[in-house]
């Protein structure tokens, strides 16, 4: 397996202006894996409680996701609840219950320690650091994080940033992490913290790839109806990293095409509630959407 992901598996309660649903399958590693598996196999490391439904394990397994590193601990699965404003860009976290995740000590199976591509999905920086310490010289490591961790674990996060190749974050997180309002300045400052590549997600405005040498931007794919944006960032990361792992390199042209695939996978995610639409997407449909995005931006 060339791709390894570590992160949360969760039951989310989500409120949009149109509907509200309780305990739907979610979690950063779940969304990431369901997007990345469209590009080939991957291994997932995470923890769930004894309330985690067998059908949800089956969904992941049926997609070829290796679950050797999925631990079942006594107690409840991580739970998150959030509410979206009508503009979709404003999200309020209503509650985060770490549950079994609080004492999670990730164990990367021996067979996956030398994965070439590593994704540290949104999780407590201490958990991300433990997983990174078990990886044997990954060629490309990308880190994701969230406002909660920037607030409560900033020092651990800074330590981790010195050891990863890339950081993916949204505009609000970029401002929180760096104290800069302007996103280009925020990205430039983030580059001084360790990563050589920053992927800035700007919701419906698309995504920006920034390194010291290069800048590249793509708009998001204009979907006809957003149903639930939860997991869009993780699905973007899944398409991005899945594509890189499938190509086996991080050359500048490959990174640009990975941005395209991330944009396409995220667009499927927002068209359904929870993982429902992403889990139905096929690789052929993602490729077709990549072609549509290219035709939208070509002059
Ligand atoms: P996204 O919309 O891409 O930011 O991802 C939302 C997913 O992240 C939800 O399914 C949540 O279960 C999960 N999540 C929310 N808060 C956290 C957190 N603090 N750490 C890890 N995962 C989280």
Model confidence at 1, pLDDT cuts 50, 70, 90, reads confident
The count of domains in the chain is 1
**Residue 270 CB–ligand 1 contact under 6 Å:** no
- Model confidence pLDDT, tens digit, residues 175-184: 999 999 999 9
Model confidence at 143, pLDDT cuts 50, 70, 90, reads very high
Residue 203 above 90 pLDDT? no
Q: Which residues pair with residue 208 across a beta bridge?
A: 200, 217
Residue 12 Cα: closest atom of ligand 1: 12
**Residue 126 CB–ligand 1 contact under 6 Å:** no
**Residue 145 CB–ligand 1 contact under 6 Å:** no
Between the CA of 10 and the centroid of ligand 1 the distance, in Å, is 8
- Model confidence pLDDT, tens digit, residues 114-135: 999 999 999 999 999 999 999 9
Between the CA of 32 and the centroid of ligand 1 the distance, in Å, is 11
pLDDT at 141: 98
pLDDT at 204: 82
pLDDT at 144: 97
What one-character-per-residue DSSP string does the chain give? --EEEE---EEEEEE-SS-EEEEEEE-HHHHHHHHHGGGS-EEEEEEEETTS-HHHHHHHHHTTEEEEEEEEESSPPEEEEEEE-TTSS-EEEEEEE-GGGGG------GGGTT-SEEEE-SS-HHHHHHHHHHS-S-SEEEEE--HHHHHH-HHHHHHHHTT-SEEEEEHHHHHHHH--SSHHHHHHHHHTTS-SEEEEE-GGG-EEEEESS-EEEEPPP--S-----TTHHHHHHHHHHHHHHHHT---HHHHHHHHHHHHHHHHHHHTSSTTTTGGG--HHHHHHHHHHHHHHH--
- Return the best residue to mutate from 7, 8, 104 for the ligand 1 pocket (most ligand atoms within 8 A of CB): 8
Q: Kindly report the protein residue whose alpha carbon is nearest to atom 1 of ligand 1.
A: 231
Between the CA of 26 and the centroid of ligand 1 the distance, in Å, is 8
Between the CA of 248 and the centroid of ligand 1 the distance, in Å, is 28
pLDDT at 195: 98
What one-character-per-residue DSSP string does 220-270 give? PP--S-----TTHHHHHHHHHHHHHHHHT---HHHHHHHHHHHHHHHHHHH
Mean pLDDT of 174-197: 96
pLDDT at 63: 97
Residue 43 above 90 pLDDT? yes
Between the CA of 59 and the centroid of ligand 1 the distance, in Å, is 19
- Return the best residue to mutate from 21, 122, 239 for the ligand 1 pocket (most ligand atoms within 8 A of CB): 122
**Residue 80 CB–ligand 1 contact under 6 Å:** yes
Residue range(s) defining the domain that contains residue 118 = 3-297
pLDDT at 167: 98
- Return the best residue to mutate from 13, 80, 275 for the ligand 1 pocket (most ligand atoms within 8 A of CB): 80
For residues 154 and 160, give the distance between their C-alpha atoms in angstroms, rounded to a whole number. Answer: 10
- Model confidence pLDDT, tens digit, residues 98-113: 999 999 999 999 999 9
Mean per-residue pLDDT of the chain: 96
Residue 155 above 90 pLDDT? yes
Mean pLDDT of 9-32: 97
Model confidence at 223, pLDDT cuts 50, 70, 90, reads very high
**Residue 89 CB–ligand 1 contact under 6 Å:** no
**Residue 122 CB–ligand 1 contact under 6 Å:** yes
Between the CA of 52 and the centroid of ligand 1 the distance, in Å, is 17
- Model confidence pLDDT, tens digit, residues 57-93: 999 999 999 999 999 999 999 999 999 999 888 899 9
Mean pLDDT of 264-268: 98
**Residue 154 belongs to domain with CATH number:** 3.40.1190.20
Residue 190 above 90 pLDDT? yes
């Amino acid at each position: 397996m060339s791709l390894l992901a570590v992160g949360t598996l969760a039951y989310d309660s989500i409120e949009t202006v149109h509907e509200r649903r309780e305990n739907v399958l979610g979690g950063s590693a779940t969304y990431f894996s369901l997007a990345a598996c469209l590009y080939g196999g991957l291994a997932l490391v995470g923890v769930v409680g004894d309330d985690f439904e067998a059908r949800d394990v089956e969904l992941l397994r049926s997609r070829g996701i290796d679950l050797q590193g999925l631990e079942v601990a006594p107690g409840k699965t991580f739970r998150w609840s959030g509410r979206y404003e009508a503009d979709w860009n404003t999200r309020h976290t209503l509650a985060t219950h770490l549950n079994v995740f609080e004492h999670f000590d990730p164990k990367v199976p021996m067979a996956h320690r030398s994965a070439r591509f590593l994704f540290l999905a949104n999780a407590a920086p201490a958990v991300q650091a433990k997983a990174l310490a078990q990886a044997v010289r990954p060629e490309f490591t990308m880190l994701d994080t969230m406002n909660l961790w920037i607030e409560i674990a900033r020092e651990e996060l800074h330590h981790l940033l010195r050891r990863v190749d890339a950081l993916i974050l949204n505009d609000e997180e970029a401002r929180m992490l760096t104290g800069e309002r302007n996103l280009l300045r925020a990205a430039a400052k983030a580059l001084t913290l360790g990563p050589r590549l920053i992927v800035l997600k700007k919701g419906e405005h698309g995504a920006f790839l920034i390194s010291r040498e290069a800048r590249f931007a793509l708009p998001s794919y204009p979907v006809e109806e957003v149903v639930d944006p939860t997991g869009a960032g993780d699905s973007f990361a899944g398409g991005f990293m899945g594509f890189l792992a499938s190509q086996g390199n991080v050359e500048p042209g490959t990174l640009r095409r990975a941005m395209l695939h991330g944009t396409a996978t995220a667009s499927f995610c927002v068209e359904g509630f929870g993982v429902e639409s992403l889990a139905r997407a096929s690789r052929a449909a993602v490729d077709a959407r990549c072609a549509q995005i290219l035709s939208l931006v070509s002059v």
